[in-house]
Structure 1
Amino acid sequence: MKRIICISFFGIMAAMVIAPSAQSQTVLDGAWIKEHNKTKKVVQYPFIREADVMWSKRIWQDIDLREKMNLPLYYPMQESNGMKSLFDVIRDALLIEGSITAYSTGVTGQEDDFRTPLLVSDVKYILEKPDTTSTEDPDTGEMIEVIQVVKITGDQITRYRIKEDWFFDKQRSERYIRIIGIAPQKERIGNDGELTGAYETLFWLYFPECRYVFANWDSFNRFNDAERRSFDDLFQKRMFSSTIVKESNVYDRKLDDVYTGLDRLLKSEEIKEKLFIAEHDLWSY
């Protein structure tokens, strides 16, 4: 009798322990478990010797997320089906996981050489900046100052700037493009509350470090849901549209400093053509 009572007691206790965990489980949203990118390892770059680099050029480009080809970097606005926008991945890696480091753009907002790392508190201040506004007190009718936190959300990040090295390796007889840094940019808002068309760079990220985070998050594939590409795949395979805004030059000028409107776009295309010719001339047919 005592044995039956003991067995019943332990059975009841086990049921009490198992029941909450069973309630917390979620059903599988799909026909299979999607774990490929979650456990994916980064494919390392081949080692490059300085003596093997015959030709190189540093290029800065802008990725406009409003272009159709770049939409997988912009959507979804809210996490869905194991996918997040690129900015949400970056923000969580900076503020929650601490797996990547942000670097300051300097006093002028033009520094991009990763000299000044930012603390988590500094990044949080950039992304969740307090703002003071004046509002009318409903009881007294007087104007009072109210401090509210203005958070930068993924829908406000509509452009990324990337810094790249284009070079030719004579050891492998191949031209490489290495992304060195990536920076989210937000369009400035004027005093009238309207967008000004000018962008500010929030901070710079060292891309080789970001690859370990980007490789574990899916980006949308408009052609095949079964073939999930990670954000790292998207960048490594150059599956984005971009516009050249600067090439290394003796004056350290951007194209915006010299050209405007259509002339700037034509100059950007001219640089692209020059890069193509530089690679083409290295071969004989």
Structure 2
Amino acid sequence: MNKFLSFAALAAGLSLSLTASAQEQATTATSNGSYRPIPNSDIMFSKTIWRAVDLREKQNKPMFSEGKEISKVILEAVKRGEIQAYRNDSLTSTYTPAEVTANMSFAESANELSDEEKAAGFTEADAGASDDGWGAPAAKPAAGSSAPATAGAPASYEYRYKDLYQMEVKEDMIFDKKRSRMYHDIKAIGLLVPSTLSSNTSGIEKTVGYFKYSDLVKMFRNNPDKAIWFNPQNDAQHKNLADAFELWLFNSYIVKVSNPSDARLDEIYGSQQQGILASQQAAADLIEYEYNLWSF
């Protein structure tokens, strides 16, 4: 009888321990954005990598097809309140939908005179005049249209979804010793305003928002008619964007590998050109590391 009670107590203790462990793992996965977390006990090697994705590239066009741009799918989900946006890839501080809208907007001064117009003697008062330049009153805007801004007043516009073609993927490259294979464990995906846009007067990339990969997968699955990876070879075989990431159906290049200084490759090596060469070397080193695991 005593042996039976002892066995029952041991079984109950193991059950509670496993439950607590599962809850702890689930909580960790929720906080770091991983969709399929790998237990720490199974990880033999791990390296955090940041990849840049240019959605204008031919290989990336399927997730940037007309009307089904991944930037549109994500940002419209933010506006609906379906997913949460974060300020950076640490996924700890959040943006409100209004802040995300502000991040994807730019200000443009309305009715400013060009240098040629100023040299010809026109003034800012002329820019805001109520006539059309021929002595007749300017036509009133039609009902439902927006009135022109007054001289010098900044006007705010949202970038087109096609303009937001720069994306960043943060992942942990993990070798799972139990399954003896390397995994790409995506943690976060960020949308950026490209530095090359003429309307981006700062000349640097600006963050629109970062998103947990686990949240994005759920949202992609819930919107199969919108979250489409367009198959240019077969209209009957379009895929969900979640599948496109799982199957790695996109092209990217490494811009940062975890390091003590938390610096990007172009910062470490001194120039953008050297950073590109370092990116290629980093990708080759990771492939060689995996190869050596099987060779020795």
Compute the TM-score of the two structures, normalised by the length of structure 1: 0.72
Q: CA deviation at 1:201?
A: 2.1
Q: Which moved more, 1:192-201 or 1:171-180?
A: 192-201
In the TM superposition, what whole-angstrom CA distance separates every residue of 1:155-187 from its partner, at most 9, and x where no partner exists? 111210110100111122221111111111112
Shift of 1:262: 3.5
Deviations 1:40-98 (A, max 9, x none): xxxx955521111010000000011121101112221x3xxxxx1101101110002x1
Matched, 1:121 2:128: no
Aligned to 2:284: 273
- Identity across the alignment (%): 29
Contact 1:187/1:195 (8 A) holds in 2: no
Residues 186-233 of structure 1: CA deviation (Å, up to 9, x unaligned): 12368x868886422221111111111223222210111111111111
1:137 aligns with 2:120: no
Deviation at 1:134, TM superposition (A): 4.9
- Aligned position for 1:213: 219
Contact 1:61 1:244 in 2 (8 A): yes
C-alpha contact 1:94 1:102 (8 A) present in aligned 2: yes
Match of 2:170 in 1: 163
Aligned to 2:293, the other structure's residue is in SS state coil
Q: Does 1:103 align with 2:60?
A: no
Residue in 1 that maps onto 2:136: none
Q: Judge conservation of contact 2:42–2:176 (CA < 8 Å) in 1.
A: yes
Alignment of 1:214-253 (within 5 A): 214-215=220-221, 216=224, 217-253=227-263
Residue number in structure 1 paired with 2:45: 55
Deviations 1:91-122 (A, max 9, x none): 110002x11110114xxxxxx20121111222
| 3-state SS of paired residue (1:203) | strand
Any stretches of 5+ residues in structure 1 without a counterpart?
1-43, 79-83, 106-111
Looking at structure 2, the residues matched to 119 and 165 of structure 1 have their Cα atoms a distance apart, in angstroms, of: 27
Aligned partners of 2:193, 2:231: CA distance in 1, in Å?
A: 25
Provide the secondary structure at the position in 1 that maps to 2:44.
strand
Query: Considering only aligned residues, what root-mean-square deviation do their CA atoms show, in Å?
Result: 2.5
SS at match of 1:188: coil
More helix by share: 2
Match of 2:184 in 1: 177
Q: Output the CA distance in 2 between the equivalents of 1:88 and 1:193.
A: 19
Residue 202 of structure 1 aligns to a residue whose secondary structure is: strand
1:202 maps to 2:219: no
Shift in Å at residue 127 of structure 1?
Answer: 2.7
Structure 1 pair 236–200 and aligned structure 2 pair: CA distance change class (3 A): same
Matched-pair contact (CA < 8 Å) for 2:52–2:254: yes
Task: Tell me the SS of whatever aligns to 2:100.
Answer: helix
In 1, Cα distance between the equivalents of 2:106 and 2:279?
35
The whole-number CA distance in structure 1 between the counterparts of 2:37 and 2:273 is 40
- CA offsets per residue over residues 103-151 of structure 1, 9 Å max, x none? 114xxxxxx201211112222222345555454212389x733342311
**Counterpart-to-counterpart distance in 2, 1:194 and 1:45:** 33
Give the number of equivalent residue pairs: 227
| Bigger mean CA deviation after superposition, 204-213 or 117-126 | 117-126
- Decide whether aligned partners of structure 1 residues 148 and 193 sit closer, same or farther in structure 2, where only a CA change above 3 A counts: closer
The SS at the match of 2:63 is helix
**Please, what TM-score do these two structures have when normalized by structure 2?**
0.69
